[in-house]
Amino acid sequence: MTGITATSGQRADMVRNRRLLLEAATAAFAEHGVEVSIGEIAQRAGLAKGTVFRHFASKEDLLAAIMLQMLDQLIGTAERLVDADDAAAALQEFMTDGVEVLAADRAFCEVIGRPSLQHSEVRDAIGRLRDAAEALTARARDQGAVRADVTGTDIVLLLGGIHQTAAPLLAEEPHAWRRYLALALDGLRATGAPDLPYPPPGRLRLSDTDEGC
């Protein structure tokens, strides 16, 4: 009985420590970017530095775990909205939430293209995000709310593009991204839209590039 209790307690401590580490690392990376040291993350979490490496073999593994959290958040938003009656409003809400996530997290664009994207779970999550965005976009196309040649991959790429456009302003004007989101949404509308001058992108593979978003 004592052995079982001790094992259960150890597992509870492991779950707690992992949660504390992810919370501390997410906050630190969001504020300062990915150059934050493992020592600082451990200090923020109130844990020993060695505890970090018991949960994450490398900094890249920690970044991958945070990427998964962010991607899962975006996927969850898309899946929640996919059956909404107003597909245009659903797509707008997804894009608004998506750019807001990026604007609040300095690390996201620094992580894009890093080795953390070689993790199979992260690559799978990027695929699921693309598929969820395509489902939202397809419904908006079917309702005639967006232009017929826009794709889910376009939408996912636009999230990073909108954030990067506003990035120089965000320190002084943290909501400036809303202006560029509105411009992008206006360009997605179907009414009177001429054909785009270039074909849609293929399968979204962010790990093919070393560039940020």
Give 187's DSSP letter: H
Rounded distance between C-alpha atoms, residue 124 and residue 131, angstroms: 11
Q: Which two tokens stand for residue 200?
A: 């849609």
Rounded distance between C-alpha atoms, residue 61 and residue 21, angstroms: 12
Q: Supply the pLDDT for residue 3.
A: 45
Query: 69-112 pLDDT, tens per residue?
Result: 889 999 999 999 999 999 999 999 999 999 998 888 766 666 65
Average pLDDT of the chain to the nearest whole number: 84
Q: What is the model's pTM?
A: 0.79
Residue 136 · residue 77 · CB < 8 Å: no
Query: 31-79 pLDDT, tens per residue?
Result: 887 788 999 999 999 999 999 999 998 888 888 888 888 899 999 999 9
Rounded distance between C-alpha atoms, residue 34 and residue 78, angstroms: 27
Q: What percent of the chain has pLDDT over 70?
A: 83
The residue type found at 197 is P
Residue 41 · residue 32 · CB < 8 Å: no
